[in-house]
Amino acid sequence: MPLYPLFADLRDRPVLVVGGGPVAERKAAALIVAGARVRVGAPELTASLRARVEAGEVRWIEGTFTGAWLDEAWLVVAATGDRRVNRAIAAAAEDRCILVNVVDDPALCSFHVPALVRRGLLTLAISSAGQAPVLASRLRARLETVLDESLGALSELAGRYRLRIREAFPDVTQRRRFYAWLLDGPVAPLLGRHREAEALRTLEQALQTPHAIARAGRVTLVGAGPGDPGLLTLKALRALQRADVIVHDRLVDAAILDLARRDAERIDVGKRSGEDHAATQRRIHDLLHAHAAAGRHVVRLKGGDPFVFGRGGEELEFLRARGVDYEVVPGVSAAMACAAYAGIPLTHREHAQSVHLLTAHCKDSIDTLDWRALARERQTLALYMGVAQLEHLTERMLAHGRDGDTPFALVENGSRPGQRVVTGCLRDLPALARRHDVRAPAMLILGEVAALAPQLAWFGAAIHPDTDLADAA
Ligand code: SAH
């Protein structure tokens, strides 16, 4: 039979915990949070329970269990670890009509303690009626990932405005619609961004001019990371699960798009053949604007981090100029991911004190770089979009004094199932890239730290430095 769920108000009500070990300690702590007057009965206590007794948070009944301990108790938790004693406690509680929980012994329980997800005062409780506690706790972990932290602040706000909302919307249907707006509209994201004053203003305004409530659209600029879906942030996942429309680059993995809300519209905005970059970018701007203006929540999903060679800045400038609300969720950039997945620490006390993220996707951009500075030793260069320019790069680095023995690692498809890492030293870089036919997307990591890759590698195929260039030249 399913259990009857209830949330008990234990403020200032006496509750008995029997047992003085670590389990009793955890149970007592949870009861203290709920404001119960906790008494702990046991011959001995853990140091931290003792500290609670000294702090006046818990009263200690020293000794072994007797029925008299149950006098006045509203609830009992048996956490002695001794089945016989627990059984006696359960029987005594039953006699006196007091609800009892026996830790890890559902057959002896008259109440169960659920797995919890908490956001402020908002509490989700999960129970399997003691049948599958592990399942319940896995489900709890899953819910933790999808529910935004700002829900706590939102529920407190809803509590504070409850009467005003009731007055403003005496009609139940209207009130429901208002709460839907409160949950899905602009207030929750403002709270999530710690803009409490603005959230309050928005709420006040909605109460004063309820007819003007429209579902305001917005854009969340989200970094999808380098490919491995596990590298998404919780915020990225939550945004994907709430999106109405997802505007994504071609480089974003299908496995990541699979995590999005099923009925979200997906739009691939990769460059079309014959279209130049400026035209692509204009098309993207217009799409974002049009969908947000129509009241939709748009997720603009980009590979890696949106602010690292991702044109995220340009997109936000465009949206800002048109008054579209936005937020940004950073992603793991390819340099960080490729370094980590190839076993290369980007900085190292002995080998590199700085990291440069740079791009050289064409001859023009190569010519604008400060080669003298980049060629200094004991620093790491991470080069984006550079596969076609390795020859130029090598030539410039050597010309500006970087040692031809400087180690490099080329990481192709970093963090993905097909990741390949080619290592060697600077003077052989173009030849090795050609020999191994390295293709985009690939990241060049150049600097002393790259020598660590063969030792520290842990992902994908093992790395064998290629030093035999006899037939590569
Ligand atoms: N905003 C992205 C970079 C976009 S530029 C970020 O922060 O990562 C695209 C370049 O990133 C590619 O040409 C390649 O150099 C690099 N890149 C992206 N994903 C990669 C991957 N999985 N492995 C190796 N390089 C990658």
Domain for residue 8, yes or no? no
How far is ligand 1, taken at its centre, from the CA of residue 385, in Å?
A: 7
* Atom 18 of ligand 1, residue of closest alpha carbon: 334
Neighbours of 229 (CB within 10 A): 17
Instruction: For residues 76 and 177, state if they share a domain.
Output: no
302 counts as catalytic: no
Question: Is residue 15 within 8 Å of residue 75, measured between CB atoms?
Answer: yes
Contact criterion met (CB below 8 Å) for 63 and 39: no
Q: Are residues 319 and 349 in the same domain?
A: no
| Residue at 6 is within a domain | no
Residue carrying structure tokens 């490099």: 408
- What CATH number is given to the structural domain containing 282? 3.40.1010.10
Do 345 and 255 share a structural domain?
Answer: no
Residue from 148, 228, 244, 249 carrying the catalytic annotation: 249
Distance 428 CA to ligand 1 centre (A): 23
Boundary-marking domain end, from 332, 349, 372? 332
* Strand pairing class (37-42; 355-359): unpaired
Beta bridge partners of 116: 125
Q: Within a domain: residue 344?
A: yes
pTM of the model: 0.83
- How many folded domains does the chain comprise? 4
Structure tokens at 320: 């800002």
> Contact at 8 Å (CB) between 335 and 355?
yes
Counting from 1 in the atom list of ligand 1, the atom nearest the Cα of 307 is: 1
DSSP 8-class letter at 463: P
Q: Give a yes or no: residue 139 inside a domain.
A: no
Catalytic residue (one of 82, 271, 325, 403): 271
Shared domain for 251 and 344, answered yes or no, is no
Q: What is the dihedral sign for C-alpha 304, 305, 307, 313? A: positive
Summary count for the chain: helices (H), strands (E): 19, 17
Neighbours of 237 (CB within 10 A): 18
Regarding whether 323 and 389 lie in a shared domain, the answer is no
Q: Cα separation of 257 and 9, whole Å?
A: 43
Q: What is the pLDDT of residue 213?
A: 74
Last residue of a domain, one of 332, 347, 364: 332
Tell me the C-alpha distance between 111 and 6, whole Å. 10
Identify whether the C-beta of residue 304 lies closer than 8 Å to the C-beta of residue 249.
Answer: no
CA 5–ligand 1 middle distance (angstroms)? 50
Q: Cβ < 6 Å from ligand 1: which residues? A: 226-227, 302-305, 308-310, 333-334, 338, 384-385, 411, 413-416, 440-443
Tell which residue, 116, 96, 94, 95, has the closest CA to residue 107: 94
Residue pair 250/284 in contact (Cβ under 8 Å)? The answer is no
258 and 353 housed in the same domain: no
Residues 296 and 323 in one domain: yes
Q: Which stretches of the chain drop beneath a pLDDT of 50?
A: 472-473
Tens-digit pLDDT profile for residues 228-287:
999 999 999 999 999 999 999 988 989 999 999 999 999 999 888 888 889 999 999 999
Does 59 reside within a domain? yes
Residues 300 and 325: beta-carbon distance below 8 Å = no
Identify whether 135 is part of a domain.
Answer: no
Residues at the binding site are 22-23, 43-44, 226, 303-305, 308, 333-334, 385, 414
Q: How many CB atoms lie within 10 A of CB 155?
A: 17
Task: Determine what percent of the chain falls in helix, strand and coil, rounding each to the nearest 5.
Answer: 40, 20, 40
- Enclosing domain of residue 427: 335-472
In 294-389, alpha helices (H)? 312-321, 334-341, 363-367, 371-374
Furthest-apart CA pair in the chain: how many Å? 91
Does residue 326 lie within any of the structural domains? yes
443, 444, 445, 459, best to mutate for ligand 1 pocket (most atoms within 8 Å of CB): 443
What is the 3-class SS of 409-446, one letter each residue? Answer: EEEECCCCCCCEEEEEEHHHHHHHHHHCCCCCCEEEEE
Other C-beta atoms within 10 Å of 87: how many? Answer: 15
CB 436 within 8 A of CB 420: yes
Angle, vertex CA 152, rays to CA 150 and CA 153, nearest 5: 70
Query: In 52-162, which ranges are E strands?
Result: 58-62, 75-78, 99-102, 115-119, 122-126
> CATH no. for residue 429?
3.30.950.10
- Quote the pLDDT of residue 180: 86
Residue nearest to ligand 1 atom 25, measured at CA: 442
382 in a structural domain: yes
Q: Report the separation in Å between the CA atom of 411 and the middle of ligand 1, taken as the mean of its atom positions.
A: 10
Q: How far apart are CA 146 and CA 214, in angstroms?
A: 25
In the three-class reduction of DSSP (H, G, I as helix; E, B as strand; rest coil), residue 175 is classed as helix
Task: Quote the pLDDT of residue 473.
Answer: 45
CB count in 10 Å sphere of residue 209: 9
- Token pair for 427: 């003077």
319 and 392 fall within a common domain: no
Residues 246 and 274 in one domain: yes
Could you say which of 332, 359, 389 is where a domain stops?
332
Q: What is the pLDDT of residues 326-367, one digit of tens each?
A: 999 999 999 999 999 999 999 999 999 999 999 987 777 778
How confident is the model at residue 450, as a pLDDT?
97
Residues 227 and 327 in one domain: yes
Alpha carbons 298 and 222: distance in angstroms, whole number: 10
Shared domain check, 444 and 350? yes
Note if 271 is an active site residue.
yes
Q: Are residues 161 and 234 in the same domain?
A: no
